[in-house]
A and B are shown apart, each in its own frame.
Chain A
Amino acid sequence: MSLREADLKVNQEPACTTNSLSLSNYFANDHPDENKWADCVHCGMCLESCPTYEQTGQEQHSPRGRVYLIKSVAEGKLTLNEQFMDPVFQCLDCRACTTACPASVDVGGLIEEARGQIRQAMPLTGAKKAVSKLFLEGLFPHQNRLNSLGSLLKFYQKSGIQKAVRKTGLINIMPKHLVEMESIMPEINTPVRKKYKNENVIKAKGETKNEVAFLTGCVMDVMFSDINESTINVLTRNGNDVVIPKNQTCCGALHVHAGDRETGRKLAKQNIEAFKDSETIVVNAAGCGCMLKEYAELFKDEPEWKAKAEEFSEKVEDISKYLHDTGYEKPKAELNTRITYHDACHLAHGQGIRQEPRDLLLNIPGVEMVHMPNADRCCGSAGIYNITNPEMAGAVLESKMENVPDDVEMISMGNPGCMLQMAIGVQKHGRNQKIVHTVQLLDWAYQKEDQQKGGE
């Protein structure tokens, strides 16, 4: 018996699920939802949609296989052990299977619940625990620490250290996938939360039509503050007053993906409170948007919070869908560029938003859109999957890059994780496309229009 299994025995509470006759090996609280797997009839229509099945050909790494294993723990056929952990944690949680599934089985939800159970049974130890604690508990939920890190990275880039580290080869002391990541690190600018910290409302240009609250995201605001800036520009230009609630925090998606549902709940509660006075909550990161829309999933055992979460989720909308639904001014300046569009999993599969961002791009004069085959196939980023599972993430990325058309100048998308991963893809595969957020292109078109007006 391995050490882990011994731990498991100690941690194991008396078996209990919804069914009192059950032989379930799950903990009583927040276990995978029986109704979710009851929808699966094992037909296999999900197989080809799954990036990890495509790579491995192994059914325990396929959606229906994972659902079957998760069900098997509830039936007492399996225990929460390492061998079960492998397929559950190898899942990208990309949700492509739910799109492919005739019965829309919520595989992603089951995976997240199962991860919560695994983390309860087998808490992380040693280096993995340290890394996970550092990022998930010590960093993402703390905006001030993220800002400090951002300043540090900015210093790293601007002071010449970055150049020196790269030139001297000192960089190669890091694992290869982290080197790849360092090399595509975007230029760090001032986070919008810092920039607008003294403004209660960023006023609409012209007449105010709506007021929206903006979730700036944790990593997004440090690494991609220019996208947040663009989002604010686009919103205010279209008659929206923008509020950035002060007490907002990380959405918790990364925690929930990693099985840390407890922290996920804490962050969710904080955000629900922070945004309680807002009518509309706009998000520009697909992963965050999807998480915010699924907060209720975290509160199965807390009905009061579940109700609050449901009310909260109703108010959340992705920036592309929000602009599409409320109307926006079509830019008049031409951008003259050939682009392609990548569907972020948590936008297309998670939120069903496919056409709105494409329409937004197509409405910019001079933008020519080239179709990318399998545009809604995962790029391998999947939150921090590319850090925890670099080999699989790399294989999934390679398969993605094969579909990127040769003759485009930019790849547009709606999620920061994808942007980093696709940037690695572009660099690693000797391509030269610029990676942009959909809302940036719109902002640039507006800016160009203003410049042309100014020049007249």
Chain B
Amino acid sequence: MAFKTLKTKLLKTNDKHIKNLASIVGGPSSILYHKEDLLAYDCDGFTIHKHLPKAVVFPKNTEEVAELVKYCNENDLPFLARGAGTGLSGGAIPINGEVIISLVKMKRLLSVDLENRRAVVEPGFINLKLTNSIADKGYYYAPDPSSQYCCTIGGNVAENAGGAHCLKYGVTTNHILGLEVVLPNGEIIEIGNNGICDMPGYDLIGLLTGSEGTLGIVTKITVRILKNPQAKKTVLAYFDKVADGSQAVSDIISAGIVPAALEMMDKIAIEGVEAAAFPVGHPKDIEAFLLIEVDGIAAGIDEQINEILEVCKKRNVKEVKVARDEQESARWWANRKTGFGAMGAISPDYLVQDGVIPRSKLPEVLNKINQISKEYGLRIANIFHAGDGNLHPLILFDARVPGETEKALLAGSACLKVCADVGGTITGEHGVGIEKMEEMRFVFTEEEIQAQTNIREVFNPKNLLNAGKLFPSPSRCVEIKTDIKMNKEKEKAL
């Protein structure tokens, strides 16, 4: 029972790579290599594909990251970076038995420069902690993925994370001013000049942000911070019909209002959150609710709220209310933001999709998703960043039932096909990872995919860093596709 982890323990291995990697990070306490320990790293928030890593190493600074990368590169060991492992598309899953470079020990807030509204953080720093560290001075960090309680800003950069408030304020890439990056050969570079991101030449910050850990490992991030809005109000509107709710969304935007957030949840999603840890007592008989937040200078907020209430009434809202105080609005948001995890209360597993569609197509798309649900015999909940058309169908399944995982994957893919077919795309904020590689073909031609793979090769010529993600490689995806097809045919035959 004695406590071992913090103390140095002896390496019990003959693997020379483990020994060498351990010596780079300062000894056995900063490396994991036993199967029992590694198992906790065989997937991230996407649990359908799993593979054990070779080892997990915990560097403490940029130099150690660079040394690790150099070592892997020289010894042809595949490797990848991992933050909190909350990603939903499998970006941090070591499908090639990678050495995982965990950045969670690099979790310092290095500096805050309120005058120039920027802060410098290490990649393992938790998203919400940044806002919490500057809140008392009246500032915050805008990108707010639902996992912000626990996800790292490094991971946010890799995935170009979005969030409920990205409708008005933009996604992660709009808030990154500079990056320090370890390239796949171990070289350390800096992009963005001392917080001035708008440098002449190619937009490398834009290229790196959202590259899903395939171009380099970010070791320092300069982010933009914002002054808190002077005023904020939150509205909750219940609808009997999804079509009315989505029409209200379009009307609000057409009225020229830009809410900070404009969220929708459907009936099954509501069932999930109400059965889970943060229920707010939503009625059970509604088809959808909208959660709308407006913020900005105090003057004008009430007019906007009135206008929103009017729109909702025009669209047959069943009940609409404005949060009485901060606490009430916080409860509504906790209910919404824990929506994914809440699915655990009504289903053993879920697969979340991340399609983007033109707002006006919502009723049509939801109908089609409903058909997919029936076709595959799996319940699908919908959580929707309605304002920017980013739809999250949550396909509920039970991995213990043979064949259900495959069905869930196919249903997910079918949902994305629907999104692509109505003129949308396959991911808004969760990334492609391994999950949506195949679906990249819904939106890109073979040539377009090749062109992007060529860019990857400039940075990552040996393809040791996070290989087999983001873009389908011709042979692999055919295999998987055939596999799934065969399974499906087998089921049909039965």
Residues of A within 8 A of B (CB): 19, 38-48, 55-62, 65, 68-69, 72, 77-78, 81, 83-87, 89-90, 99-105, 128, 388-392, 395
CA distance A86 to B3 in the complex (A): 8
8 A-B pairs closest in CB distance? A102-B341, A103-B344, A102-B338, A65-B40, A83-B36, A44-B86, A43-B341, A57-B104
**Pair B3/A392 contact, Cβ less than 8 Å:** yes
Which residues on B sit within 8 Å (CB–CB) of A69? 36, 39-40
Residue B215 CB within 8 A of the other chain? no
Are A392 and B84 in contact (CB-based, < 8 A)?
Answer: no
Q: How far is A334 from B13 in the complex, measured between Cα atoms in Å? A: 65
Q: Binding site of B, secondary structure by majority: helix, strand, loop or mixed?
A: loop
Task: Point out the residues of chain B lying under 8 angstroms from A389, CB to CB.
Answer: 1-3
Is there contact, CB below 8 Å, between B150 and A45? yes
Are A102 and B150 also in contact (CB < 8 A) when A41-B349, A48-B126, A395-B6 are? no
C-alpha gap A251/B34 in the complex (Å): 37
Closest residue on chain B to residue A19 by CB atoms: B400
Please tell me if B239 contacts chain A, counting CB pairs below 8 Å. Answer: no
Cross-chain contact B39 with A101 (CB below 8 angstroms): no
Give B residues with C-beta under 8 Å from A: 1-7, 32, 34-37, 39-41, 43-45, 47, 56, 58, 84-86, 102, 104-105, 107, 124, 126, 147, 149-151, 276-278, 338-345, 347-350, 400
Q: Are A41 and B39 in contact (CB under 8 A)?
A: no
Which residue of B6, B32, B339, B345 contacts A55 across the interface (Cβ within 8 Å)?
Answer: B6
- Mind listing 21 A-B residue pairs with CB under 8 Å? A41-B341, A42-B43, A42-B47, A43-B341, A47-B86, A55-B6, A57-B107, A57-B124, A58-B5, A58-B58, A68-B40, A77-B39, A78-B35, A83-B36, A89-B1, A90-B3, A104-B276, A389-B2, A390-B3, A392-B5, A395-B6
Task: Select which of A39, A55, A62, A78 is within 8 A of B36 by beta carbon.
Answer: A78
A103-B6 in contact (CB<8A): no
Task: Return chain A residues, CB-CB under 8 Å to B47.
Answer: 41-42
Q: How far is the CA of A103 from the CA of B276 in the complex (A)?
A: 5
Say yes or no: B341 contacts A101, CB within 8 Å: yes
- The closest CB in chain A to the CB of B42 belongs to A68
A176 → chain B, closest Cβ, in Å? 13
- Which B-chain residue is minimally distant from A259 (CB atoms)? B1
Q: Considering the chains assembled together, what is the distance between the CA atoms of A269 and B398 in angstroms? A: 37
Pair A102/B5 contact, Cβ less than 8 Å: no
Given A41-B343, A45-B149, A102-B339: 8 more A-B contacts, CB < 8 Å: A41-B47, A56-B6, A61-B5, A68-B39, A69-B40, A99-B277, A102-B340, A104-B277
Q: How far is the CA of A441 from the CA of B86 in the complex (A)?
A: 44
Are A60's CB and B341's CB within 8 A? no
CA distance A189 to B124 in the complex (A): 50
Q: Which of B45, B105, B339, B341 lies at the interface centre, i.e. has the most chain A CB atoms within 10 A of its CB?
A: B341
Contact B40 A60 (CB under 8 A): yes
| A residues less than 8 Å from B150 (CB atoms) | 44-48
Q: Is the CB of B84 within 8 A of A47?
A: yes
Q: Using known A-B contacts A41-B349, A45-B341, A81-B36, determine if residue A101 contacts B5 with beta carbons closer than 8 Å.
A: no
Shortest Cβ gap from B282 to chain A (Å)? 15
Q: Which residues of B contact A55 (CB under 8 A)?
A: 6
Q: A103: which of B45, B124, B341 is its contact (CB, 8 Å)? A: B341
